[in-house]
Amino acid sequence: MKEQIDSIQAEALAAIAAAADERSLDDARVAVLGKKGTLTLAAAGIKDVPKEDKAAVGQLLNAARTVITGALEEKQLAVREAADRAALAGIDITLPGRAVNTGSLHPLTILRDQAIGILRRMGFALAEGPEIEDEFHCFDALNTPADHPARNEKDTFYFDSGKLLRTHTSSVQVRTMESQKPPVRIIAPGSAYRRDEIDATHLSVFNQLEGLYVAEDVSLPDLKGTLEYFFRELFGTETEVRFRPHFFPFTEPSFEIDVKLHAKGQAPRWIEVAGCGMVDPAVFEAISKSRKDDAFDPAKVTGFAFGMGLDRLAMIRWGIKDIRLLIENDARFLKQFA
């Protein structure tokens, strides 16, 4: 039996040494250690060995298995290293590497995230709503009369069902007040749609961010302080901000907000960036009627709202002359923000 085991070991080691690749090495392994391998069959024959010799034969079998297994592992490492060297043989490692182009966030995404971050630090929560709206949430609840130009088919995208693509994210404010009692402090970033002719300053779809704060004793100084802080955080602490009286059907009093733009090579000039105002009591009355309670009774609560176009803010922030650059996906333009 000892001679048989020695012979199996010698043949196995010779086959392992002769293996040129992983497939031939695996064939050598199966021939010795497989279910019908020579060493496996020899181990099965130990039952026929006299009782007094079984221990010694068992030790010989284990020793042979250890030697063969070690040779297989060592040869496998050598075969793999040889394969790796062969794979690299045709590569010129002296050639310079190829640059990997890295992507970046879109400028609108950069500005939106910064704007949201500033307002979140002031306690505003994110809110969202559907982009396909009905006239109540988009116009009626916001004190917009039936003859208002925004409700004309020339200005708004209507569906045959009577629904429409929202013209502002103010509809999110309405839906939030319908589902939540005061205090309410939310911002609603998202897309808005209007039938504008596409040119250097207009698109038919744009990105808007609106805000709403409703509670007891919310005042005009709260609105002014909030937005002055916001625009100075966004454009720089030295940014000049001014409020001009204006008219919006859903706020009273209402204001346009301007910041002074300091463009290189040009005289400083005021540029409009947002609209705002104190929520009109008529809006609270419409919400109370929809909710069927007095949670938003204008005698109990006050609030302010504001809205701004993120596309316009991006154009001001980076001096972009044509708004269409923001939707054309021209890598030459976008790589400036990488």
Confirm whether residue 252 is marked as ligand binding. Answer: yes
Paired strand residues for 132: 165
Phi-psi label, residue 143: left if phi above 0, alpha if psi -120 to 50, beta otherwise: left
* 281 contact partners, CB below 8 Å, separation of at least 6: 252, 298
**How far apart are alpha carbons 261 and 161 in whole angstroms?**
44
**How far apart are alpha carbons 180 and 157 in whole angstroms?**
29
Residue 253: cis peptide before it, omega within 30 degrees of 0: yes
**How far apart are alpha carbons 199 and 287 in whole angstroms?**
37
**Counting beta carbons within 10 angstroms of the beta carbon of residue 224, is it exposed (0 to 12), middle (13 to 18) or buried (19 or more)?**
middle
Residue 269, Cβ neighbours under 10 Å: how many? 10
**How far apart are alpha carbons 31 and 283 in whole angstroms?**
87
Q: Both tokens of residue 212?
A: 């709403």
Binding residues for Mg(2+): 252
Binding residues: 252
